[in-house]
Structure 1
Amino acid sequence: MTNLVSIIMPAYNAEKYIAYSIESIIAQDYPNWELLVVDDCSNDGTRKILEKYSNLDNRIKLISLDNNCGVAKARNIAINNSNGKYIAFLDSDDIWHPDKLTEQISFMSKNNYPFSFTSYELIDAEGQETKKIINAPPKVDYQGLLKGNIIGCLTVVIDKGHYQNISMPVIKHEDYATWLQLLKGGSTAYGMSKVLAQYRKTNTSVSSNKVKSVLWTWNIYRSYLQLGLFKSVFCITSYAVNAFKKHYF
């Protein structure tokens, strides 16, 4: 289907917030989407909520797993079952603004961009605005992204036809590793300055655990990308500095 957007959503014990995330998709003024939501063997009320929404809207496709496989594998299952020209990502506790897809697909189509992302704002666990905005730069390439992950997963839209294989590795910070791998081939990701999404920052959010985040990033540099020691030290230093600026300035 022309310009169909396949939205990738993993879900595990997400009963507290997932309805807000799905409602923000249903509220999109861009109607040509499918939501592939993978219930990763939740043991709370997540599956019941998802069954309700999939029965209400045939654009919502529920994939239920019998064994917990983790967020990367869950996303990959959804990607492999997607039908759209584009894929977009939204986690089960984050929110899109109603014009998100309209604005972003127009931006990509007019400029023939294969990979785009946007600015987003942080909200607290209760959904209250924190007034903190993560601003998207106009563009970023592989070398630039090595210095820090400025690409919010909840804002990404990718033209599937431009890349041979879109698959997230089963490691921590799998989204960052994926963007690096896609850009490593010479591609560029283009940013929109407009705020089009809200990232819910809770005590369990990846961004809340700074020490683990640095260790996971170091593993991406050394093990996944197999960068040299000095290059890795330079990148992790830049990453740490930029992460501090990102969240505190």
Structure 2
Amino acid sequence: MSDDLVSVIMPAYNAALTIGDSAASVLAQTHPTLELIVVDDGSRDDTRRLVDAMAMVDPRVRLIALPANAGVAAARNAGIAAARGSYIAFLDSDDRWHPRKLQLQLEHLRRSGARIAYAAYDRVDRHGRVLSHVRPPRSLSHAELLKSNHIGNLTGIYHRSLGDARFRAIGHEDYAFWLEMLRRAGKATCVPSDGALAWYLAREDSLSSDKLRAARWQWRIYRDIEQLGRIAASRYMCHYAWQAVRKRS
């Protein structure tokens, strides 16, 4: 396991229209010591063929083809299981990174001594227009993360000395994942930057755009996974609702 190798996990399902730009943003990183593990989750379009073509040009690209659609949690878990790097990062097949994203994060992790880092990002529409800026706090504990998911999954990176958690097949699976990682690490740190280090494509038809459903997912994480009592869970739900409004302002 290389000391500075970053394994980038990219789940993909029918992503032929977007995966080219997403993968290119990974391969163009100024920190070149990486592997891009694309997990094709049973796509029916040209996703697999496009990734095969990328791998022919750049040996840092690896394809894992799942036999059937298993969902994003299973796809990310398959990528984690195959990863060779000392660091794990995630990027979905319709999102993009700033070219210096990994370099800045690794430098910051080494300076701070932290084992989890995250960053600012922008929510954009399909034309690339910025819908909102997401600027998370400078540092986080597990207790602070309970108030709201300040770690955009497309910006999170962790050192594998923490061990590899697994994504659960639930709504807000990324939030549950980072709560577990913060429980292990004790703290996480935000990389200082003048602007966004990643761009998240906000789709109108995404499951997370259903606010009532998202609130139910949040409640389930508090009660079933974090094992909070009703009063504590209700208090955190108030924080969650307030932060959800602020993130989109």
**Normalization by structure 2: what TM-score?**
0.95
Per the alignment, residue 158 of structure 1 pairs with 158
SS, match of residue 155 in structure 1 = coil
Q: Report 1:131-170 matches (<5 A).
A: 132-161=132-161, 163-170=162-169
- Per-residue deviation, 1:128: 2.6
* Deviation per residue, 1:165-217 (Å, 9 max, x gap): 32112211111001111222461111124221111111133442222111111
TM-superposition CA deviations, 1:48-86 (whole Å, max 9, x none): 111111111110000001111110111011001101010
Q: Is the 8 A contact 1:137 1:193 kept in 2?
A: no
Q: 1:202 to 1:48 in 2, by over 3 A?
A: same
Cα distance 1:15–1:233, how it changes in 2: closer, same or farther (>3 A)?
same
1:174 aligns with 2:173: yes
2:213 maps to which residue?
212
Which residue of 1 is the match for residue 182 of structure 2? 183
Identity of aligned residues (%): 39
Cα distance change on mapping 1:192 and 1:19 into 2, 3 Å: same
Question: Distance in 1 between the 2:62 and 2:185 partners?
Answer: 34
The answer to whether the 8 A contact 1:136-1:193 is kept is no
RMSD value, Cα: 1.3
| Greater Cα offset, 201-210 or 239-248 | 201-210
Partners in 2 of 1:67 and 1:17 — Cα distance? 20
Q: Match for 2:113: what amino acid?
A: N
Indicate how the Cα distance of structure 1 residues 98 and 186 shifts in structure 2: closer, same or farther if over 3 A, else same: closer
Count of aligned residue pairs for this structure pair: 246
Single out whichever of 181-190 and 100-109 deviates more from structure 2: 181-190
Question: Which one is further off, 226-235 or 204-213?
Answer: 204-213
Whether contact under 8 Å (2:80, 2:164) holds in the other structure is no
Q: Distance in 2 between matches of 1:106 and 1:57?
A: 25
The residue identity in structure 1 corresponding to 2:138 is: P
Unaligned runs of 5+ in 1: none
1:74 matched to 2:72: no
Query: What secondary structure sits across from 2:120 in the alignment?
Result: strand
Q: Deviations over 1:108-137 (max 9, x none)?
A: 11222100000001111122333x210021
Using the alignment, how far apart are the partners of 1:47 and 1:186 within structure 2? 35
Which AA in structure 2 matches 1:90? L
Letter aligned with residue 142 of structure 2: Y
1:164 shift after superposition? 2.8
Deviation digits for residues 200-242 of structure 1 (CA, Å, limit 9, x no counterpart):
1111334422221111111111112221111111111110111
- For residue 52 of structure 2, give the secondary structure of its aligned residue in structure 1: helix
